[in-house]
Amino acid sequence: MQQNTTAPLPAIGGDDFIVYPGSNGTVFIERVRPSGVRDGNSIFQFDARHLFTIMFPLVFQLMVTVHRVPIGKLMAMLHLG
């Protein structure tokens, strides 16, 4: 049984994003405008495997620049070093 779990993402350009699982390994990312409006034009569907490929460099950069995690420690956490 699939659980409908959402995860909020930080606001980008004033819009909030919600991530939730779909069927067959897909992931939905939905943009919610500051007014709270949700519509079909704001929903994007991705294959989770491709989403990881896209998001990994961004998350890596975020961890190093914003959270100031040393690269060596981050690589050890990811079993890359």
**Where do the structural domains in the chain lie, given as residue ranges?**
7-77
In this prediction the pTM is 0.43
Residues constituting the chain:
81
Distance CA 39, CA 4 (A): 18
Divide the 81 residues of the chain into consecutive groups of 10 and give the mean pLDDT of each group: 51 67 77 75 74 65 62 62 43
Collapsing DSSP to helix, strand or coil, 28 comes out as strand
Sequence-ordered list of residues with C-beta below 8 angstroms from that of 20, at least 6 positions apart, any chain: 4, 5, 6, 7, 27, 28, 30
